[in-house]
Structure 1
């Protein structure tokens, strides 16, 4: 990958995001891609299997010593939980049951949320819409770090700390950058999650709860799978704000690595994004891509030209309220 040069600010651009025009061009040339849009009938079974696996794990770990709780949280449970957050990402685009059953998707996302330990799915949906609609938008896209993050986390040691704390920044940043009123579905999400947490605590004690929550935090922080957070939109090469990764970790992350394809066609389930790349290969093969999420993390930490400031930002004419 190329270098961006030393950074003291974001990369401000005055052009629209590239996904809108590329989507129109690809659909004009390959209208058959429209047939890939719609629900993935297998998603509900895969996700349910993962949720039930974690509930079984809660029983299996309840008598383990604390050191093994944290080991299995990082090595096993957290990987499943991180994968479930990416399932929730897919579900937020209504690909579990389709647009006509939007409420079913919201409730199913709460089911996928249960092993994560903390309510997440409803708030994610609310902000993820803006990430697609206003990619890179100043004070609109909360996926972009704040100025404080960019200024402070600029050395290798501080960037390692930033990676470790990523879950907390993702949770708190929206409240600072673009706060929105709490909606009813978020309250329902919290009530459902707390109820299940209390049931697990009543049945098996505190250790399963720590196993679930610690796994979520650890594996969304400094972990190989978390390389996708950096790989997706950090500007490793000037002028390119979205990157795909086509490696084996897509098998456990609902193909989130196919990120250019996803932003071009967000209504296509992750399971079908490889078909998009295959059909429109000439649009994607020549674009910069990542080959390793671990390498992405390494470069992020040790390359001075890459850090929280290495993001493309733009000002949209629409106000936040619009």
Structure 2
């Protein structure tokens, strides 16, 4: 379990991120993909149903034991909360109500955020859009592990604990790598979330709030649905920095597994991303892809050639000056 991985540095490149150029090529060949752009009319109903399911679970979990709370949080509540995090991901691209109604999207993000227990909707948008625009950037893209993370967890045992602690890295890494002052909407998000959490504690108790928060954290770590954090951009094949997953867990994660398609066309809602692949299969079928997020986690931990260093990094400053 203490075996050190063979990679000792990130994969550095001075090329631009690949998705903008591929988007242009695909649209020249298949301009009909533009018809897929825009919000998903069904999204608000699916997301709302998940929020209300978790609200009903507050009554179910009120008098349960700690083992039952933790097990239910891992096997059920955490999965719903993870799906709601990916609903927030859709909302960050204005795919709930469209670009013409930005504030409606933000307000719906507050609503989807409620069962997650921790305010993240606005903060996620602030950093995620930079991840798209500056994928792999040494400073701006906070999706990439820090050098300290890579050095400390560069072994089989280290990678196991890194995966388990992954939610903490996702929460605190942006504050260290690329800190930004809080916006008014972030403060609003925080106040709304704290009021909801206080209501949960007042009427249902601390254990029920723990059910929500523990589920969110567990489902971001050593959990099958969290496999997408690793599958999306960790380099399992040299030279490829984004990977798609075409397995069944896409059904409960707004097709986030179609990740090459998403980065190529971020204005296509998750429900329609399979249509992008169907229209332009020659661009996606030939790229390395994943079929199991559980297998991704296992390979990440056990394969000595894969680890926190297995990410493509680029120097955007160098690109801008050339």
Compute the TM-score of the two structures, normalised by the length of structure 2.
0.97
In structure 2, the partner of 1:216 is 216
In structure 1, the partner of 2:77 is 77
Q: Secondary structure at the match of 1:41?
A: coil
- CA displacement, residues 48-90 of structure 1 (integer Å, 9 cap, x when unaligned): 0000000100111010111101010001000000111011101
Cα distance in 1 for residues equivalent to 2:160 and 2:83: 22
Q: What is the 5 A alignment of 1:161-200?
A: 161-200=161-200
Cα distance in 2 for residues equivalent to 1:145 and 1:155: 15
Cα distance in 2 for residues equivalent to 1:282 and 1:274: 14
Cα distance in 2 for residues equivalent to 1:158 and 1:110: 35
- Cα offset, 1:6, TM superposition: 2.1
Whether 1:225 and 2:225 are equivalent positions in the alignment is yes
Cα distance in 1 for residues equivalent to 2:141 and 2:319: 12
In structure 1, the partner of 2:271 is 271
- Cα offset, 1:156, TM superposition: 1.4
Contact 2:70–2:211 under 8 Å retained in 1: yes
RMSD over aligned CA atoms reads 1.3
> Bigger shift: 122-131 or 199-208?
199-208
In structure 2, the partner of 1:109 is 109
In structure 2, the partner of 1:291 is 291
Q: What is the 5 A alignment of 1:1-322?
A: 6-317=6-317
- Cα offset, 1:319, TM superposition: 11
Q: Secondary structure at the match of 1:313?
A: strand
Contact 2:14–2:318 under 8 Å retained in 1: no
Q: Secondary structure at the match of 1:193?
A: helix
- Cα offset, 1:208, TM superposition: 1.1
Cα distance in 2 for residues equivalent to 1:6 and 1:278: 37
- CA displacement, residues 198-240 of structure 1 (integer Å, 9 cap, x when unaligned): 1111111111100000000001010011110000000001100
- Cα offset, 1:317, TM superposition: 2.4
- Cα offset, 1:318, TM superposition: 8.3
Cα distance in 1 for residues equivalent to 2:34 and 2:23: 11
Cα distance in 1 for residues equivalent to 2:175 and 2:39: 31
Residue 48 to residue 318, structure 1, CA distance change in 2 (3 Å): farther
In structure 1, runs of 5+ residues without a counterpart are: none
- CA displacement, residues 10-52 of structure 1 (integer Å, 9 cap, x when unaligned): 0000111110111000101111100100010100000000000
Q: Secondary structure at the match of 1:100?
A: coil
- CA displacement, residues 67-126 of structure 1 (integer Å, 9 cap, x when unaligned): 101010001000000111011101100000000001111111111100000101110000
Moved over 4 A (4+): none
In structure 2, runs of 5+ residues without a counterpart are: none
Compute the TM-score of the two structures, normalised by the length of structure 1.
0.97
Cα distance in 1 for residues equivalent to 2:185 and 2:12: 35
Q: Secondary structure at the match of 1:113?
A: helix
The count of corresponding residues between Structure 1 and Structure 2 is 316
- CA displacement, residues 271-312 of structure 1 (integer Å, 9 cap, x when unaligned): 000000000011101111011111111110011111111000
Cα distance in 2 for residues equivalent to 1:318 and 1:42: 43
